[in-house]
């Protein structure tokens, strides 16, 4: 069964600091990869996704993620965070033929003004 | 606007009672899903349905039941057999197979007292 690992569940940083959230998955076949964000009191929103092509994908609000196939990783980055980036971030993976999106346990990110 | 509607937003029930959570979508998606979100555990799949009148158990189906009589609707019943029902429940939908990601509703927070 596919699984998704996210480390450092709680991240606290100051505005303008850089953010990197790790995501590793276990499935060896063809996968599609996603990062979702959940702002306080709001529903899950798609931040960015990777299907194929350029392994560096750019999403909304200045976020980007890099797919490294050899490391089974899809890490999320933002060079300079803002207070409004305070949210929970979820990495998700779906493998072709599985039909089920598997989520990591999430990263709770708090940005201090 | 197309989207997913979950109702109610907050739900309180007494222990031992069954309760049904509503999920309606007007995105014309064939597939629908129910996830449970608990702090520090991410999203775990309860049930999913790829087509009307068909559904499959997810990873934590015990104590839950679903029906899919209409394409637009996928209600979830939390039965008295569910040992720890207090949680945040999220409904999602997608095109067949879900390879291109899911659209999520705003969730229902169920509290059993």
Residues of chain B numbered 67-96 and touching chain A (CB < 8 Å): 90, 92
Q: Residue B2: is its pLDDT beyond 80?
A: no
List, in order, residues 6 or more apart from A58 with CB less than 8 Å away: A48, A64
pLDDT at A86 > cutoff 70? yes
pLDDT at site A43? 85
Percent of chain A with pLDDT over 70: 99
Q: Residues of A with CB below 8 A from B90's CB? A: 43-44
Taking CA atoms, B94 is separated from A104, B18, B34, B57, B113, in Å, by 19, 28, 12, 17, 33
Whether the Cβ atoms of residue A25 and residue A31 lie closer than 8 Å to each other? yes
Residue A85, helix vs strand vs coil: helix
Residue linked to tokens 């979830």: B76
Cα–Cα distances in angstroms (integers) from residue A47 to residues A89, B13, B18, B81, in the given order:
9, 34, 35, 36
Mean pLDDT of chain B: 93
Average pLDDT score over residue span A54-72:
95
From chain B, pick out residues whose CB is under 8 angstroms from the CB of A34. Answer: 101
Minimum distance, in Å, between the CA of residue B71 and any CA atom of chain A? 18
Residue A30's pLDDT band (cuts 50, 70, 90): confident
Cross-strand partners of A13? A111
pLDDT at B40: 84
Write the pLDDT tens digit of every residue in B21-76. 999 999 999 999 999 999 888 899 999 999 999 999 999 999 999 999 999 999 99
Residue A60 main-chain phi, psi, to 5 deg: -80, 160
Question: B interface mutation test: which of A103, A104, A107 has the most B CBs within 10 A?
Answer: A103
Neighbours of B101 (CB within 10 A): 19
Burial environment of residue B54 by CB neighbours within 10 A (0 to 12, 13 to 18, 19 or more): exposed
Name every residue whose Cβ is closer than 8 Å to that of residue A14 and which is 6 or more positions away in sequence: A111, A112
Is a pLDDT exceeding 70 seen at residue B1? no
Those of residues 51-90 in A touching chain B at CB distance below 8 A are 51, 90
The DSSP letter of residue A62 is: G
Chain B contact for A22, CB < 8 A? no
């Amino acid at each position: 069964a596919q699984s998704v690992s996210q480390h450092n569940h709680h991240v606290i940083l100051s505005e303008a600091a850089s953010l990197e959230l790790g995501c590793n998955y276990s499935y060896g076949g063809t996968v599609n990869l996603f990062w979702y964000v959940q702002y306080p009191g709001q529903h899950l929103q798609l931040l960015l996704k990777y299907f194929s092509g350029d392994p560096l994908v750019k999403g909304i609000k200045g976020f980007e993620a890099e797919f490294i196939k050899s490391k089974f990783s899809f890490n999320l980055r933002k060079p300079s965070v803002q207070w409004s980036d305070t949210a929970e971030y979820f990495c998700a993976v779906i493998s072709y033929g599985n039909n089920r999106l598997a989520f990591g346990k999430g990263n709770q990110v708090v940005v201090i003004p | 606007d197309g989207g997913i509607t979950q109702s109610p937003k907050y739900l309180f029930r007494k222990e031992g009672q069954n309760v049904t959570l509503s999920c309606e979508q007007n995105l014309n998606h064939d597939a629908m899903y129910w996830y449970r979100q608990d702090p520090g555990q991410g999203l775990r799949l309860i049930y999913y349905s790829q087509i009307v009148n068909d559904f499959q158990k997810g990873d934590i189906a015990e104590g839950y039941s679903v029906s899919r009589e209409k394409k637009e609707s996928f209600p979830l019943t939390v039965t008295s057999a569910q040992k720890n029902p207090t949680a945040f429940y999220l409904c999602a939908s997608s095109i067949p197979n879900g390879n291109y990601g899911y659209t999520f509703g705003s969730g229902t927070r169920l509290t059993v007292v």
